[in-house]
A and B are shown apart, each in its own frame.
Chain A
Amino acid sequence: MSDQEMDMEEGGVVKQFMFVNRKAPYGTIYALEGLEVVLISAAFEQDVSMAFIDDGVYELKKGQDTKALGQKNFSPTYRALEGYDIEKLYVEKESMAVRGLTVEDFAVDVTVLDHAEMAAKMAEQDVLISF
């Protein structure tokens, strides 16, 4: 058993969970469902992080306006994650670059990782859940 798994809290084993977001926020339900699962997972006091890759980087974009889509703009909810103690938000550098995005475009503070660093971060996880 690793040190990580020995880290007992309130009788439970704390595992590293990473939720991987790859889709644009609207058009499919993945982004919203993924976000809700993350918020629910916070109740289980696990070590939760989120990764934003490919079109998933658009989920964090500032200034989203969904009026014409007739859908709820859930992007402000990413700003609530801090209150849920989910502060590890990793964004892939290459995905940002090809979409012309910088950290200034995001509504929340993120950690930018390049492709290799992201792969290493994923390899550290106990559980990866992809949306």
Chain B
Amino acid sequence: MPMIEAAGKSFEVDEEGYLINLSDWDEGIAAYLANEEKVELTPNHWEVINFLREYYSEYQIAPAIRVLTKAISKKLGADKGSNKYLYKLFPYGPAKQACKIAGLPKPTGCI
């Protein structure tokens, strides 16, 4: 597995760039992963990233996109729980790209 040096730490990622050890994650690594994905992190991005981390810590999986939008609608309001809003923040797919930046594995059922 490739090792990455960034944010003063070294950490392991898989062949698609997902973090291997979830416990390696911190905001510095998130910033590095976001930069790799060419995503500029704003407070709106962090809101989704933190949401995903909370979801993972509760259920031990990264949610499928349909489940993510539904859960975000419930917690943050329908305007934020839309595909359109999430794709604007994470153009290559919120479940895929946001999960990577959040240091989570690739969502189950992400095809």
Contact = CB atoms under 8 A, between A and B. Distances in A.
A42 interface: yes
Main secondary structure, interface of A, reads helix
Contacts of A121: none
Most chain A CB atoms below 10 A, which of B64, B108, B111: B108
Interface residues of A, number: 14
Interface string A84-98: 100000000000000
B63 A80 contact: yes
Interface stretch (A11-19, A46-54, A69-77, A122-130): A69-77
16 contacts: A36-B109, A39-B61, A39-B64, A40-B108, A42-B67, A43-B64, A43-B111, A74-B61, A76-B58, A76-B59, A76-B60, A77-B60, A80-B58, A80-B59, A84-B64, A84-B67
Interface of A: 36, 39-40, 42-43, 72-74, 76-77, 79-80, 83-84
